[in-house]
Amino acid sequence: MTSRLFGSAWIPMVFFATACGGSEPPLNPFGTGIGGTTGGGTTGGVSGSGGVGTGAAPGGGTSGSGGVLPSGGGTPTGGTGAGGAVTGGATTGGVMTGGAVTGGTVPTGGVGGGTTGGTSGSGGGEIIEDPIDCTSVSGAGLPVNESGWLDASCNSFGLQGAWYCFTDEIQTSTCASGTPPWQAGSGMCLSGTSVIDEDYKSWGGGIGLSLNETGGEDSVKTAYDAAANNVVGFRITLEGDSLGMSMRVGYSGAADPGDDITPFVEIGEISPGTPLVAEVLIEDAVVPEEWETVPNPGALADPSQIYDIQVQYPGGEEDGEYSFCITNIEPMTTGDVPDVNCNLTGQVWGTSERYGTSEVSGYMIQNNVWNDAAVGHQSISAFNASGGVGFIVHADSGYDVLSDPNGRPGGYGSAVLGWHTDGGFHGSYQSARQISGIGSARSQWNYCTPSAGNWNASYDIWLAPGGAQPSGDQGTELMIWTAHRDATPIGTELDTVTIGGASWEVWVGEDAGPWQTISFRRITNTRTVDIDLKDFFTAGDPYADYDSSHSLYGIQAGFEVWSSDNQNLNFTTALFNASVQ
């Protein structure tokens, strides 16, 4: 996002760190849940209730992790967490039946309620172990089967633990105490009721998998070191209907983290008949920084200490019957993530001036710290790159614009092809062309971003009625967020669309100037982009005030930064190019 000059006044393009009407989450009733959905107003609901967590493991198992987070602003009333397996009798799919509840690691309740998440005990009877089942309903990946147990002998990553489910105490659901959420032929499944609830006591439910537990009658859950096992995330396939709500995947960082919120990633909605495949990197999981009432806003998942992976349907905003199944889950290693070499050498230009620019390799590179509320320093350095240009945006440890009452970023260090607010055209694109006359607008962009701060990696594209210069009051700013951390586009989310094989949220709003802004925010982050930008021009037409008779004026790509989180951060573009045909 840049500033643009109309007449003699700078008009900054506005983006908000939080959406209007965003809310705070509640405190964590069990310590292993992930945040609930957002509520109305800036403080959200007032209180949320805990949930019931159930699960099982061969030989007695551990207790299921407790419920996920409602998203009201106040203190939850700790619910109950059922013990994992019941001893005595024979086993059925790894779940012990008969006798009393055998508690494993029992989570504790939330603040205020103080309720413990289930009780532990022991039962009589002979424990009979079933043979280890390494099959999966999908025929691939980690075991997803009736046993409800992932055994270490079934994988080479040291993963072992039980499947379980958890829900709030308001809804009716299929989550059954002491039983893994297995549905024959479908996978690990959960369905239940969702109601609109301003207090967010109906916060939804989810399915979890513990990653490092011993099994047996006195099963113990401990931290899984994903980093040591070369695991950077999980690829998950979901089927069902999430009623238009974006599902969430969280990585819990303790067996009992107390009131802390578990970092999570939103992965998009599930639509009937269309499987959702999400690649969820541990480094992308975060507790939203705007959730200021929780103990750990901005917290990240620690890849050396992961206890569970949890998939949550966030309730409270829709009436209806939700359902989802996990049909496949598999670890992702460093080899599954595209390698981007961000060790740039041979700097050809650099500046710390707010509006410093230079022509490099057929593009204009700009620092563009347009927001007067920005404190600290941002600089930019440019590098020649084979097939395009490279650049590094540096935000120092004091950089932030958190005092901006409108929640806007501090600037937009970026590369420019075509029109710029200085009135000139840069690089190979020297005049505006009608969208209808453009065959393609391909772009490649590879970059590295930090795991701290508030920022996005985004394209900024200018569309307007034809003319030598764009109209001052009839244009559209089209943004494409290819990655982000704890930042939200301006306006209202209207839809989710699929473009170029990825899922994108569609946001539309008005900025501080006269132009409308439409933003496509990629649901899961990426650091390698190879897209036809014209696909986004076409996809945005139904939502924005432009059509194919409007013209493309300019293409920019770079990084909007709101805060450096008191760290020195580098945002590195290894390669950027764009070409309009």
Query: Has residue 77 been placed in a domain?
Result: no
Last residue of a domain, one of 336, 369, 400: 336
pLDDT value of position 100: 26
Domain co-membership, 481 together with 357: yes
Q: Give the domain-ending residue among 336, 353, 376.
A: 336
The count of structural domains within the chain is 2
452: confidence class by pLDDT, cuts 50, 70, 90: confident
Could you tell me the CATH number of the domain that includes residue 309? 2.60.120.430
What pLDDT shows up at residue 127?
A: 42
Nearest to 370 by CA among 422, 410, 403: 410
Cα gap 261→568, rounded to integer Å? 26
Name the one residue in this structure whose structure tokens are 């011993």. 214
Q: What is the pLDDT of residue 288?
A: 86
Same domain as 449, residue 496: yes
Residues 314, 365 within the same domain: no
| Residues 428 and 515 reside in one and the same domain | yes
Query: In which band, very low, low, confident or very high, does the pLDDT at 542 lie, cut at 50, 70 and 90?
Result: very high
Q: Would you tell me how many other CB atoms lie within 10 Å of the CB of residue 191?
A: 20
Q: Does a structural domain hold residue 101?
A: no
pLDDT (mean) for 131-158: 95
Do residues 491 and 477 lie in contact, with contact meaning Cβ atoms separated by under 8 Å? no
Q: Is 247 within the bounds of a domain? A: yes
pLDDT at 264: 94
For residue 215, give the DSSP letter.
Answer: -
Instruction: Give the residue from 310, 286, 280 showing the smallest Cα distance to 299.
Output: 286
**pLDDT score recorded for residue 102:** 27
Q: Mind listing the pLDDT tens digit for each residue in 464-500? A: 998 888 876 678 999 999 999 989 999 999 998 999 9
Share of the chain above pLDDT 90, in %: 58
**Has residue 189 got a pLDDT over 80?**
yes
Mean pLDDT in residue range 267-272? 91
Identify whether 267 is part of a domain. Answer: yes
If we measure between CA atoms, which residue out of 285, 288, 330, 335 comes closest to residue 306?
A: 285
Which pLDDT band, with edges at 50, 70 and 90, does 6 fall under? very low
Tell me how far apart the terminal alpha carbons of the chain are, to the nearest angstrom: 24
Residue 149 domain-assigned? yes
What is the per-residue pLDDT for 257? 76
Q: Which pLDDT belongs to residue 148?
A: 96
The residue that leads in pLDDT, 472 or 91, is 472
| CB neighbours of residue 437 within 10 Å | 10
With beta carbons less than 8 A apart as the criterion, state whether 548 and 291 touch.
no
Whether 514 has a pLDDT exceeding 50, the answer reads yes
Question: Six-digit token pair at 220?
Answer: 């113990």
Question: Based on the domain organization, do 193 and 144 belong to the same domain?
Answer: yes
CATH of the domain at 498: 2.60.120.180
What would the pLDDT profile of 63-88 be if each residue is shown by its tens digit? 333 333 333 333 333 333 333 333 33
- pLDDT per residue over 398-424, tens digit each? 999 978 888 899 999 999 999 998 899
Question: pLDDT band for position 511 (50/70/90)?
Answer: low
In a domain, 431, yes or no: yes
Judge contact between 243 and 322, C-beta under 8 A. yes
Q: How many other C-beta atoms are found inside a 10 Å radius of the C-beta of residue 47?
A: 19
Instruction: Specify if 429 maps to a domain.
Output: yes
pLDDT of residue 66: 37
The pLDDT of residue 293 is above 90: no
Q: Which of 306, 336, 366 is the last residue of a domain?
A: 336
Q: What is the mean pLDDT of residues 38-55?
A: 33
Say yes or no: 216 and 256 in one domain: yes
Rounded to whole angstroms, the Cα distance separating 192 from 529 reads 38
Residue with tokens 């290693």: 333
Q: What is the mean pLDDT of residues 194-223?
A: 88
Domain for residue 35, yes or no? Answer: no
CA torsion 251-255-259-262 (nearest 10°) is 0
Does one domain contain both 330 and 394? no
| 330 lies in the same domain as 343 | no
This prediction's pTM: 0.69
- Rounded to whole angstroms, how far apart are CA atoms 444 and 533? 10
- List 165's β-bridge partners, or say none: 54, 207
Reported as a single tens digit per residue, the pLDDT across 100-143 is 222 233 232 222 222 223 222 333 333 446 689 999 999 999 99
Q: Do 292 and 393 fall within a single domain?
A: no
**382 and 293 co-located in one domain:** no
Q: Position of tokens 């932030």?
A: 400
Please, which pLDDT band fits residue 397 given cuts at 50, 70 and 90?
Answer: very high
Residues 158 and 145 in one domain: yes
Out of 193-197, 355-359, 367-371, 545-549, pick the least confident. Answer: 193-197
Q: Are residues 423 and 539 in the same domain?
A: yes
Its domain, for residue 553, covers: 339-580
**What is the total residue count of the chain?**
581
Tens digit of each residue's pLDDT (9 = 90 or more) over 98-112: 222 222 332 322 222
Give the per-residue pLDDT at 195.
Answer: 84
Reduced to 3 states (helix: H, G, I; strand: E, B; else coil), residue 284 is helix
Confidence of residue 515 (pLDDT cuts 50, 70, 90): confident
The mean pLDDT of 488-513, rounded to a whole number, is: 88
